[in-house]
Structures are given as structure tokens and as C-alpha cells.
Amino acid sequence: AGLLLGAGSWDGLGLCRVGAFHVTAAFFGLEFMAELSRLRDANGSEPLRVLEVGSLDVNGALRAYAPAHWQYVGVDLSEGRGVDIVLKDPYRYPVEDGYFDAVVSTSQLEHAQFF
């Protein structure tokens, strides 16, 4: 058991928070997305393209911290909330090399065979 963040929202930098999530994953997810947002806004670039590996939303997900105007794609081995692409092979992603600006992942390594 760990600390969970309960349902609610956070409006700083246009970020949104919903659901329950382990507190350390939530903290670092929020900080990471906020920093990416600050960098993008400072450069006046187009919306960020983010790939999340292990995106199935069981009790909260990183997607909740990303600004809504970003292109956010989640991949996982099972379909469900937060999964845009179901992978047939966990070591091959059906996306073009270099397409995404950032790749994020949390709370999934304990499920990886080689971890």
C-alpha cells in the first residue's frame, strides 16, 4: 500500500488531474509534464507529441497531467482506458521513428519480463 492522490483537479499551467495515482508517480508525472509545457510555451512550438508506454489507466495515468492540446498516444499490451494502440509485440511499436517529441512511462517496469 502506498499513498494515493484522490479525485480532484489542479489547474496550474493548464494541467488537469483526475483519478487516483501513487503519490510519487503523480508528483514526478506532474513535474515532468509541467516542465515540458514550460519549454514548449517558451519556444512557441507546435503542440508536443507524447508517447506513453504502459498507458492502461488502472488507478490514474500520466495522460491526466498533459495539456489537452498535446497529441498524446498511449500504447499497452491490453486494451482499456488510456490505451490508443494495443501492442502485439511489447518490444516493437507501430509508430514512425522520431515522430514523438517525448516518450514517458511509469509504474510498468515491474510488469516487464526482463526487469
Total H helices, total E strands in the chain: 1, 6
So what's the pLDDT on residue 114? 67
pLDDT at 96 over 70: yes
- Kindly report, residue by residue over 32-89, the tens digit of the pLDDT: 888 888 877 666 667 889 999 999 988 888 888 888 888 999 999 999 999 999 999 9
C-alpha cell at 105: 512511462
So what's the pLDDT on residue 28? 84
pLDDT at 99 over 50: yes
Q: Distance between CA 9 and CA 80 in Å, rounded?
A: 22
Q: Which of 91, 114, 105 lies closest to 54, judged by CA?
A: 105
Distances (CA, A) of 6 to 22, 59, 67: 10, 10, 20
So what's the pLDDT on residue 115? 61
C-alpha cell at 13: 499551467
Output the pTM of the full model: 0.73
More confident residue, 4 or 59: 59
So what's the pLDDT on residue 14? 44
Beta bridge pairs of residue 21? 5
More confident residue, 76 or 17: 76
